[in-house]
Structure 1
Amino acid sequence: MAPPSLPTGGDVLILNGLPANFTIGCDSVSFSAQKPFPGFREIPPGAHLIWVSPSELTSSRSGYWIFTPERKDGEELQVYVKQWDKANEILTVPSEAEQQLQKQRLGQIYNSLVPYRFFISSSGASPIPSNPAPAGRPPPPLDNATLWSQLTSAIDAGLLARVAGATAGRDLPVSTMDRVEGRAASAEEAALYAGSGASELRFSFPSGSPLVSAAATGEARTRQALDATGFVLETLARRDDDDDDDGAGLEGELALAFLTGAHLGNHACLDQWWFAATRVALRSYGLAAARPALAARLLRALRAQLAYCERRLAGGLDALLDAMPAGAPTALRRALAAYGARLAEEEGAAAEPRAAFAELAAWARGARGWDLRDGGAGARRALRFGGATLDDGEVLQGADPRDVDDGEDDRGEFAPAVVELDERGREVGLVSWADDGSDGGRQ
């Protein structure tokens, strides 16, 4: 039990054995501590990312995601104890005996721990509001007082456990060197990670994975390649540990990959975020009709993440996109424009995702000067397509938001395509070197 003299309004995280002259990060704030930093107290409800680094110039960072639930008056607080491993330069969980010792000493060291809200407010950022907007109401404006809570609203204990590959738990260790399970690493990355003891984070849609069902063939395969909605819903329904039927886990994974990659400099997580944003969220056009609430949440999450880059990250959004594939700013703008084009054409799209996209488009226009309102052929012609012409003349258009010079995509060279034939059963548009209408010389 927590000592009776201690308040129970927030959790505690003890950083045991942390040396002096370390950089400490907590949510959107970081600072250099000249003395050994003891930890935090009165951590409010929600998801929080706490990390450390030997210096601001050190590329390697190590930390933990923790989730603090809403607590009733008098309910026992949670005490997290993390130990600095000098040999491996990483935060770890100490032995059970050491954890018990630190918890028993909590009454003695409690006042030396830094209150969460004091840490956040003293940095110039605004603390998490104590009274967030009730469920079901539109999210508040993207101001500093609500931005972190909006970014992390879909991250909970269940998500942290699933990404860690654990059955339960309220914390998730993360570091600069962590990898994404299922993601193909280059030879350079493999050599870098070898012997690092890095963890593998598990996401529902690992970066680079095909977004087409292995069982899909013919027209079904082509449609899945052009619109990931069916495959996304099929994957979410098949996930055994998905106890929420609104797809909030997908939103949470998008946020976790983004914040872990951005704050810890984890390139695998940044790659995962880029894939989840541009290849999953912005390619699942049908979600606006099939799962409108999920589509709206993904669009608002992406808007909050892009705004967060401009406000809280050094170098803004440009710095983040520099870490993405070549041509990322153009690819992102085109992916957003293509989504808007498809949304405008989707008769079954609900009002909520339309409103969420309008908010995102307004932000992009004000912050970046991007006009996403060209919802017709102009937005589509700006993209690299793979098309399939149907019998009625409709052309299925698919946008690939990756580097425009990259010729590979989910359709694959063997994916079927419907083509238009002439009266002789030959494909229209092939060049003929003969004048007499014979078949000879057609190429």
Structure 2
Amino acid sequence: MVEMVNAPGKSGATTDVYPPPAAHIRPSFASLPKSATTQSPTEASLKSVKSVESIAANGAFPLGSLRVNDLNQDDQPATPLTTPAIPNQTMEVSKAKPPPALLKGGDVFILDDLPANFTVGCDAMSFNTTKPFPGFKDLPPGAHLIWVAPSESTSSRSAYWIHTPEKDPEEPGEVYVKQWDKFNEVLGDPASHAEERFQKEKLEQIFGSLAPYQFRATTSGKLQIEAPSQEDDALPTFLNNTTIWFQLTFAISPGLLNRITSKDQRTWPVTTMDGVSGEVSMAEEARLYAKGTPQLRFMFPMDTHLINPEAEGRERTRQALDPTNWIIDKLEGATAGGHADDLVGELQFGFLTGMHLGNYSCLEQWWFFVTRLVFRSYNLVVERPQLARDLIQTFHAQLLYNDRYMDGDVLEDMPANAKMLQKAMVTYKARLDEKLLALGDRCTPDQHSAGVAFSSLEAWLWRLGWDLRGEYVRSGNVMLEDGEIVQAELSDFEDEDERGEFAPVVVDLEDGRETGLVSWDR
């Protein structure tokens, strides 16, 4: 049995009614209630053939779909599929394949039903639309983040991560179709496969109106991409406008996105409201979110203990001071199933999702990475120098991206975390210099490259006023704004000896007890 209606259209659209088809073909609206009529059967049949009246249909299968249910109805041999002879009309079944020539420049991302006056972003650019925006074309290989928001000041944004693989230049790209859900105010999948097919079928008609990936416009909004300045000449090549997005996303793979979002698919949705597994939330805050809020799962959650439970003695102390071995075990352990790029990929995902969508949970996860893992793993430059270099360069690219492309400032918005990061980097520089100096002639090119990457990062941090050299004056005279000179003592590292977080403190003992303690013994 085949169910068929004549013209393609969206769910809820109006479509002219064709006459009843031949055997084994039934109109999908046959079950609609019949209206009362006083016409003769002949007049009714004639009207159904030439009717200009339309009906509205709602359902999972919109008008225009062709579905084969059963060709062997009533246990009879299958008969060839036939179509009614309708004068001057033909029926064709489209395969919904856009012309390959349109997709040779890269993938296409269609935004269906997106209203006007939206803020739309794609990777390093964003702009305000003055009319419904159809989407993007010529997306190059790599990971891409496309997001939308009802306005610049809105507190909720929704987005999709996609990953375009490397392919032969002659091989056409893919077409992604996402639809704006007006009821839930979120970007989601099309309402049906027929709707997705309809959008792909009309790609040739709208292809010219799609924005190219390297979009430059002056009428539709303000882009966040700035022209290169003289300062760019002193930056490494991986930080220029054409390569910075690759540096920010090169470790984000489909496998990583599947694991973080717990969804094995071709596109990965994320929103402002997504939580992160392992974060500590106040009870009042937790009640504000729905119970079904998606949880992003990182291999290195922020509530984890950076010590292998099986480690004992000196190894346990070493991991407490430097989690390098714990990280390597986590990435390469059989139970974790990790990859060397997973830590870099999670660092990249947390920063971009947090900054572009205003996702506070992802930003908290990013702060955990940079203050507790990346710049406390001092021995990583010796054991895994390529991983150390990639982490340093990614962090450098993130700070530059934050300074050049983003409206907000992750360092200014969280000053307490920024202060903690600065202290961690001071300690990291001292330990890094010690280890590279100890290697001497045994220093490999990768280890040297990691040291050069940190030197480049240190030079860039000077513009923020961050001095990582570590020669700090603990006490001295300071002139105040009114000219008064007072004696002050810095307390940044007062709890640290040799700049180690868990370094021991020398105390005086008396009868086995620390002197100066209050005793309650009589």
Which category of TM-score, normalised to the shorter sequence, fits these structures?
0.7 to 0.9
**Distance change (3 Å), C-alpha of 1:441 and 1:16:** closer
Deviation at 1:375, TM superposition (A): 6.9
Instruction: Supply the distance in 1 between the matched residues of 2:276 and 2:520 (Cα, whole angstroms).
Output: 51
Tell me the equivalent position of 2:383.
290
Does 2:137 correspond to 1:41? yes
Note the residue ranges of structure 2 that are not aligned, 5 or more in a row: 1-96, 228-234, 475-489
**Distance change (3 Å), C-alpha of 1:170 and 1:375:** farther
- Match of 2:311, SS state, is coil
- Match of 2:301, SS state, is coil
Q: Deviations over 1:357-394 (max 9, x none)?
A: 111111101x212111227997x97336467xxxxxxx
Does 2:140 correspond to 1:140? no
Tell me the equivalent position of 1:205.
300
- Match of 2:247, SS state, is helix
Greater Cα radius of gyration, structure 1 or 2: 2
Instruction: Supply the distance in 1 between the matched residues of 2:144 and 2:393 (Cα, whole angstroms).
Output: 20
Tell me the equivalent position of 1:368.
464
Deviation at 1:104, TM superposition (A): 2.3
- Match of 1:34, SS state, is coil
Does 2:516 correspond to 1:426? no
**Distance change (3 Å), C-alpha of 1:417 and 1:222:** farther
**Distance change (3 Å), C-alpha of 1:418 and 1:368:** closer
Tell me the equivalent position of 1:125.
225
Deviation at 1:109, TM superposition (A): 2.1
Q: Deviations over 1:195-221 (max 9, x none)?
A: 5x4321111111232212223344333
> 8 Å contact 1:340–1:373 — kept in the other structure?
yes
The two structures have a TM-score, normalised by structure 2, of 0.68
| Equivalent in 190, 196, 199 of residue 99 of structure 1 | 196
| Equivalent in 401, 406, 420 of residue 331 of structure 1 | 420
| Equivalent in 373, 378, 383 of residue 493 of structure 2 | 383
Tell me the equivalent position of 1:221.
316
Q: Equivalent residues in 2 for 1:245-324 (5 A)?
A: 247-315=340-408, 319-324=409-414
Q: Percent identity?
A: 46
Instruction: Supply the distance in 2 between the matched residues of 1:420 and 1:370 (Cα, whole angstroms).
Output: 33
> 8 Å contact 2:143–2:249 — kept in the other structure?
yes
Note the residue ranges of structure 1 that are not aligned, 5 or more in a row: 128-137, 388-394, 400-410, 434-439
Tell me the equivalent position of 1:61.
157
The two structures have a TM-score, normalised by structure 1, of 0.80
Which structure is richer in relative contact order (CA contacts within 8 A, separation 6 or more)?
A: 1
**Distance change (3 Å), C-alpha of 1:239 and 1:68:** farther
Deviation at 1:192, TM superposition (A): 2.4
Does 2:114 correspond to 1:29? no
Does 2:419 correspond to 1:342? no
> 8 Å contact 2:101–2:172 — kept in the other structure?
no
Q: How many residues in Structure 1 have an aligned counterpart in Structure 2?
A: 392
Instruction: Supply the distance in 2 between the matched residues of 1:39 and 1:297 (Cα, whole angstroms).
Output: 32
Q: Deviations over 1:226-270 (max 9, x none)?
A: 2111111111122657464xx111111101100111111000000
Q: Which amino acid aligns with 1:383?
A: F
Instruction: Supply the distance in 2 between the matched residues of 1:224 and 1:107 (Cα, whole angstroms).
Output: 58
Q: Deviations over 1:287-317 (max 9, x none)?
A: 01110110111011111111111111114xx
Instruction: Supply the distance in 1 between the matched residues of 2:263 and 2:517 (Cα, whole angstroms).
Output: 62
Instruction: Supply the distance in 2 between the matched residues of 1:45 and 1:93 (Cα, whole angstroms).
Output: 22
Tell me the equivalent position of 1:166.
263
Tell me the equivalent position of 2:37.
none
Instruction: Supply the distance in 2 between the matched residues of 1:11 and 1:88 (Cα, whole angstroms).
Output: 27
**Distance change (3 Å), C-alpha of 1:309 and 1:126:** closer
**Distance change (3 Å), C-alpha of 1:431 and 1:241:** closer
Does 2:211 correspond to 1:114? yes
**Distance change (3 Å), C-alpha of 1:432 and 1:321:** closer
Q: Which amino acid aligns with 1:320?
A: V
